Chains A and B, each alone.
Chain A
Amino acid sequence: MSTANSSVPLDSAASVAQSATTLGTESQPTPSTPNPQMQEHEKPSLFTRIAGGGIGLSIGAMVAALVVGGLLIAITDPATQKAAGYFFARPMDTLSAAWKAASEAYLAMFRGSIFNYEAKSFTKAIYPFMETLTVATPLILAGLAVAIAFRTGLFNIGAQGQIILGAIVSTYVAITWQLPLFIMLPLIVLGGILGGGLWGGLVGLLKAKTGAHEVILSIMLNYIAVNLLLYLLKTPLLQRPGNTNPISPSFEDYAIFPKLFGHSFRLNWSFVIAVLAVIFVSWLMNRSTIGFRLRAVGANPHAARTAGISVASGYILVMVIAGALAGLAGSAQVAGTERVLTTGVAASFGFDAITVALLGRSTPWGTFFAALLYGAFRAGGVSMQVETGTPIDLVLVVQALIVLFIAAPPLVRSIFRLPDPSKPKKKKASSKAVAEAK
C-alpha cells in the first residue's frame, strides 16, 4: 500500500486556490458604515468567521459530510439501486440495502484506518492506525504551514511548491553525501527547512516589498517548483544514473528516517518530527513574542503598525517559517516513506493542507487532529474500496464536502443548531425561546 501519491493535476489545485482566495482575503467586505462610531461594531470578516468557527463547527461539518457521503454510497450501491426498482412494493428493502451499503463501507473504512477488529494478530489489528499516522505525517507539517500563515492574515496556497523545494534539497543532500545516519538525518531535515523556507520566504519578501498578493505569488511559484523539479530530475544532478525517467536514485539506509516501531509498520521518525513541529508552532503562536507579533499583524495590521510592529517583516518571517514547515513535509516524504524523489512527491498535499488547516481552525493541535482525520480517510479509503467495492473517490468527495460545509458556517449552524459567536445575545435569546416553546 503506497501513500496516495497520485498527483492531482496542477490546474485543479490552482482553481481551488482561486476559489479559496475569493472566500478568504479578497472578499473581505468593508461595509461602508456611514457612521464612524459604528465601526467597532462591524461584523467580523469572512476570514475570521471561518477561522474562528469553533470546534463544534468543525465536528458538525465533518458529520454532515459523512452523512452526505453515506447517502452517496447508498445511491451508487448496485444492490440498493436494484431494490429501489421495486421501492413502492417493498420500501424497506431499499432502505435496508442502503443502510447496509453505507454502514459496511464506513466500517471497512474504520477497519482500514483505526483498528482492524477482524485481524488475527495484534500487529495486524493496529497496522491500520500506524498507517493513518504515516499518511498523516506530511499533512500535519503542510497543514501547519498553511495554518500559521493564515493566523498572520496570509493565504499560503504555496505549500505544494514549498514541499517540492524541501524535497529537492533533501534529496540532493541524501544522494550526494555518504555520511553516518546521525549526521545525514539532521542534514536532510535542514535541507528541507532551507528549501521550503527559501520558497516561502520569497513569497513573503515579494509581498512585503512590492505589495503583490500572496495567493497569486504562491500559485505561480507552485508552477515554477513543479517544472523545476521535472527539469532537475532530468539532469545528472538528481536523475538516477542509467535511467531515462524523471526519477532520483533510491535513498540508502543511512539517509532515511528509521522506523519507529520496527519493520512491521511504515511509521518512521518523521512522525515524531511532525509532532515536535506541532508543539513548536503551538509555543510559537500562543506563547512567544514572535507569535504575538504575527497574530497582531494578522488580526489588525494598522494597530500592529501603530504599536511599533513591522508588518512587512512579519509577512516575511511567517512565510519563511511556513515554507520551512512545508519543506519538512517534503523531507518526510522522500526520506520517510518514498525513499526516492519523483515528480509526484507533493501529491495533493499542498491542496489538502489548506483543507486540514481550515478544518483545524488554524490552531496547531486542531491542524494535527484534522491531519490525522485526513490520514484516516486516505488509509481507510483504500480498504473500503478493496473490501466493499466503494470507489476511493468517495473519500475525496467527503473531504470536499467538509470544506464546503466549513466554508458555509451558517449552514452547519442551522443543521446542528449551534450558536453564532458573532451575535451571542440574540442567539441565546432565540434558543431560549425555542426551549420555552418546547
Chain B
Amino acid sequence: MKLELRQVTKRFGDFTANDRIDLVVEPGTVHTLLGENGAGKSTLMNVIYGLYEPTEGQIFINDQPVNFKGPSDAMVAGIGMVHQHFMLVPVFTVAENIALGAEETSGGRLNLEATRKKIREISDRYGFAVDPDAIVEDLPVGVQQRVEIIKALVRDAEVLILDEPTAVLTPAETDQLLGIMRQLRQDGKSLVFISHKLREVREISDEITVIRRGKVVGNADPSASTNELAALMVGKNVQLVVDKDQPHLTDQAFSVSNLNLVSDQGVPLLKDVNFTVRGGEILAIAGVQGNGQTELTETIIGMHPKATGSMKINSTELLGLNTRQVLRAGVGFVPEDRSTDGLVGSFSIAENLILDLFDRKEFSSAGTLNRSAIAQNADHAVQEYDIRVGNKYDAASTLSGGNQQKIVVARELTRDLQLFVASQPTRGVDVGSIEFIHKRIVAERDKGIPVIIVSTELDEVYALADRIAVFFHGELMGIVPNDTPRNVLGQMMAGATYEEARESVPATDADLETTTPETTGSVRADKAEHTADQSVLPWAEGDTP
C-alpha cells in the first residue's frame, strides 16, 4: 500500500508543527523520518494516524485522497501505529490485549480462541515467539513491543508506523526489531520508522527524510555518512542571525568548580564540572539531550541539594542555597519546559509575571499583595515584551507557546540579575518570538552579566554563543570558540575532546562547513566516502545514560 502526504501542514495556534510536508512511502520499503526532539515527527505521525486533523494538505492512500476522523478510520484504512509508550493493559494477557477493541464473541462470551490462533500464525510467520496467554506486564519490553506490532498486523495493517521504537530497547532487542522490520518489508508492508539514532537508520532505511523545525529539509540516501545525516538533522545553514558585537567582558563572573551530582540510584549525572562564565559573554551549552545539561541548570537553581563542589557568583557561594535564596541572589532562570516548570497555567498572566517576585517589596507589603503594582507590572511587561494577550487577567494557559515563553523571559529579566540561565529558550516557539527572545538574551549579556544558554539546537547555539561548552554523559568535554565547525562539535557531543575531534576531522571538511550555501535539497552520498568511517556521532549509538 502506498501512503502519500502532499503539503500537509499542522498548526497549533501560532505555532506551526508541520510545514507543507511532502512524503511518499512506497510498499515494501522502510521510510525513515529523521529529526531532533521537537522537530515535528510525532505530530506528523499523529496526523497520519488520524489523531490530529491536518490544517492544510491531503493524505493519499494508493492515490486516493483519505480523511481520517480518528485512529479507527486510519486502522480501517490499513494504517497501524506502534507508539513510543505502549498502549497495552499490563494485567491483561497478550491475547486479551490484542482482542481489545475488536473482540470476537460467541453468545455474549469472549471468544479468545480465534485471536490466539491469529497470534500464533503471525508469531510463527515472523518468528516473534510470543505466547498468547502470557500476562503483558511479565514480558520484557522488547516482547511487549512485538505485541504492539502483532496488534497492528492482526488488524491487517499495510502501513506500519514505528514511533521511536528503539528508544526503549537494549542493543540486542534493537537488532531483533530490525530483523522483524526486514521481514515485514519483504512481505510488502510499508514501514514508517522514526528515530534519531543514525546507526539503525542507516542500517534499515530505504529512504530517509530529514525534518527540522517542522519542515522537510532534505532527503538522504541510507548510504550517506552519519556526518551528513547529522548535519542535515541539526541544520547546516545558520538561519538564525542575531546582531551582536564582540563581547565586552566585565569583572563579574560565575564560576563552577568540581561540581558533582549523583542520582538517588547512584548514577553519576554531573562529573567534575569546571567552567567560568565572565560577565558580558554568553556561554552556550551544547549536547544531545539527557547528557547532564538539565541537571546542571537544576543544580545552579538549587534543586539538587546533594550536589558537591562549588558554584560562585563573584564571591557568593550558591551551592547549599535553596531555590528561593538562589533567585534572591540574582539568578534569572528560564526552565526547559515552560508549561510544567515555568508557568502556572491556571494563574493569570499578571500573576505569572510575579511568580517568583510576589514577596518582594514592590509587589507586597505586610503579607498582602499590592494589586495595582502587579497590574502595572503586567501592563509594562506586556508592552515591553510584546506579549500578545487579550487581557492580563486571562489564564496563561490560553496563550500560544511563544507568548507563554515571553512571560517567563519577561519575569526573569525584570529584576536586577547577577547571572542569567536559560534552558531551551525557544523550544516550540514561533519564528517571530525566537528572534525577539534572542535579542533580549543578547541585551542581557550586553548589560555585563554572565549568561548561560542550554540548547540542543545547534543553530541556536551558534546564533547566541560567545563560547560553546559541550556536555557528554554529565562531563564537560571542553569549551570551544564559537566558530568551531559543526562536525567538530558533533564529535565532542559523542564524547571526544576538542583535540581528538579536531584531529579526526579533515580540514577540507571543516572548510566545507563554513562555505557551503544553504542546503535544503538532498544530500547524496557521492562525497561521503572519505569521512564516513572516522566520524563517530552522538546519534550513532543509543547513548541514554
Contacts and interface: CB of A to CB of B under 8 A. Distances in A.
A283 B359 CA distance: 16
Contact of B335 (A44, A296, A306): A306
Interface stretch (A135-143, A168-176, A307-315): A307-315
B42 A35 contact: yes
Interface stretch (A11-19, A197-205, A270-278, A297-305): A297-305
Nearest to B44: A35
B17 interface: yes
Interface string B11-47: 0100101000000000000000000011000110110
B17 to A, nearest CB: 6
A118 interface: no
Interface string B304-317: 00000000000000
Contacts of B355: 296, 303, 307
Contact of B404 (A36, A40, A305): A40
A292 B369 contact: yes
Interface stretch (B138-146, B339-347, B484-492): B339-347
Given A37-B43, A288-B367, 16 more contacts: A35-B46, A37-B401, A37-B428, A40-B339, A41-B12, A289-B368, A296-B344, A302-B340, A303-B341, A306-B335, A307-B327, A307-B355, A308-B322, A308-B323, A308-B324, A310-B322
Interface string B386-420: 00000000000100010010000000000000000
Interface of A: 32, 34-42, 44, 48, 52, 283, 287-290, 292-293, 295-296, 299-300, 302-310
Contacts of A289: 358-359, 364, 367-369
Contacts of B38: 36-37
Contact of B428 (A36, A287, A299): A36
Contacts of A41: 12
Nearest to B325: A308
A299 B346 contact: yes
B69 interface: no
Contacts of B339: 39-40, 42
Contacts of A302: 340-341
A303 B85 contact: no
Bin the interface of chain B by size.
35 or more
A300 B326 contact: no
A310 B305 CA distance: 14
B493 interface: no
B303 A308 contact: no
A420 to B, nearest CB: 14
Contacts of B428: 36-37
B404 A303 contact: no
B379 to A, nearest CB: 19
A32 B344 contact: no
Contacts of A295: 344, 347
B476 interface: no
Contacts of A34: 42, 45-46, 83-85, 163
A36 B17 CA distance: 11
Contacts of A38: 12, 43
A48 to B, nearest CB: 6
B148 interface: no
A288 B322 CA distance: 23
In this complex, the member of A32, A52, A289, A309 whose beta carbon has the largest number of chain B beta carbons within 10 angstroms is: A289
In this complex, the member of A44, A293, A299, A306 whose beta carbon has the largest number of chain B beta carbons within 10 angstroms is: A306
Closest 8 CB pairs of A and B: A308-B324, A307-B356, A37-B428, A40-B339, A308-B323, A300-B344, A306-B341, A307-B355
16 contacts: A32-B85, A34-B84, A36-B38, A38-B12, A287-B369, A288-B367, A288-B369, A296-B355, A299-B347, A302-B340, A302-B341, A303-B342, A304-B344, A306-B303, A307-B327, A308-B323
A37 B17 CA distance: 8
Nearest to A297: B344
Contacts of A39: 337, 339-340
A35 B47 CA distance: 11
Nearest to A283: B368
B228 interface: no
B43 A35 contact: yes
Nearest to A296: B344
B333 interface: yes
A28 to B, nearest CB: 14
A35 B42 CA distance: 6
A36 B12 CA distance: 12
A308 B43 contact: no
Contacts of A37: 12, 15, 17, 38, 43, 401, 428
Given A287-B369, A300-B340, A306 B345 contact: no
Given A34-B46, A35-B42, A296-B355, A309 B324 contact: yes
A17 to B, nearest CB: 25
A133 to B, nearest CB: 29
